[in-house]
């Protein structure tokens, strides 16, 4: 077996599992600590939305763990069950992060617009790049293999554009909880740790993708 492939798999495992463990530990710790405002994640999100003049945006509860997201097509902030109804530091941080995305959309935040414009093309690329490469290997057509790599690069570009969008949403959330709801320093620090852990998942995913890209390019050259 190619030693470079073994090293790549090990790096992916370390980054993936390590990041997942970090976010789970941070979430569990701060989800046990009540927020001094007494607000559930849903109420914190509602207040932040209203504070930014976004009373038209709805909030709904969805199943799953850490499945929270904002959909600009429907103008709905979706919060997972544990975030929606829990009055904890972690729930407030995550709920306000998703509202940060809603604020980005309302204010026309450029990286968010770019990311949204890339979604249709990247959705296709992410679903077919591996199959294009496999076909290229089977039929022995190097050009198809390179085409698969190009499609994969599009996926990585999307991940890179996603990073500033996620970090900015977290910055908006932290700015709100630190200045608008007057949380004590300890709770502000907890919210920051939860959001930092969440950001690490995106950073780790991008690093893993870059490592895999380098390996695929090496394969094509060989």
Instruction: Show Cβ contacts of residue 139 under 8 Å, excluding neighbours closer than 6 positions.
Output: none
DSSP codes joined into one string, 135-157: HHHHHT-HHHHHHHHHHHHHHHH
187 in catalytic set:
no
98, 143, 166, 187: which is the annotated catalytic residue?
98
> What are the backbone angles phi and psi of residue 108, rounded to the nearest 5°?
70, 40
Following CA atoms 177, 180, 184, 190 in sequence, which dihedral angle do they give, to the nearest 10 degrees? Answer: 0
What is the number of H-type helices and E-type strands within the chain? 7, 3
CB distance 37 to 44 below 8 Å: yes
Closest CA to 66 of 47, 50, 79: 79
Query: DSSP string of 3-70?
Result: HHHHHHHHHHHHHHHHHHHHHHHHHHHHHSSB-TT---HHHHHHHHHHHTT-TTSEEEEESSSS--EE
Sole residue written with tokens 């809603």: 102
C-alpha span between 191 and 206 (Å, rounded): 23
Catalytic residues: 98
């Amino acid at each position: 077996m190619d030693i470079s492939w073994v090293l790549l798999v090990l790096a992916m495992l370390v980054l993936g599992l390590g990041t997942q463990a970090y976010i789970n530990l941070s979430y569990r710790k701060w989800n046990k600590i009540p927020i001094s405002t007494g607000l559930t994640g849903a109420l914190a999100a509602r207040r932040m939305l209203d504070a930014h003049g976004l009373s038209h945006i709805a909030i709904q509860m969805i199943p799953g763990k850490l499945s929270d997201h904002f959909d600009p097509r429907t103008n709905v902030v979706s919060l997972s069950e544990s975030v929606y109804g829990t009055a904890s530091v972690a729930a407030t941080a995550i709920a306000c992060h998703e509202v940060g995305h809603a604020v980005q959309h309302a204010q026309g935040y450029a990286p968010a617009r770019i990311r949204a414009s890339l979604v249709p093309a990247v959705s296709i690329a992410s679903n077919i790049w591996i199959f294009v490469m496999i076909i290229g290997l089977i039929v022995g057509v190097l050009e198809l293999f390179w085409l698969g790599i190009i499609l994969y690069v599009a996926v990585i570009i999307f991940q890179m554009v996603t990073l500033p969008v996620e970090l900015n949403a977290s910055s908006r959330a932290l700015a709100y909880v630190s200045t608008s709801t007057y949380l004590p320093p300890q709770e502000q620090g907890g919210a920051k740790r939860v959001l930092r852990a969440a950001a690490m998942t995106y950073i780790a995913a991008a690093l893993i993708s870059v490592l895999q890209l380098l390996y695929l390019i090496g394969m094509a050259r060989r």
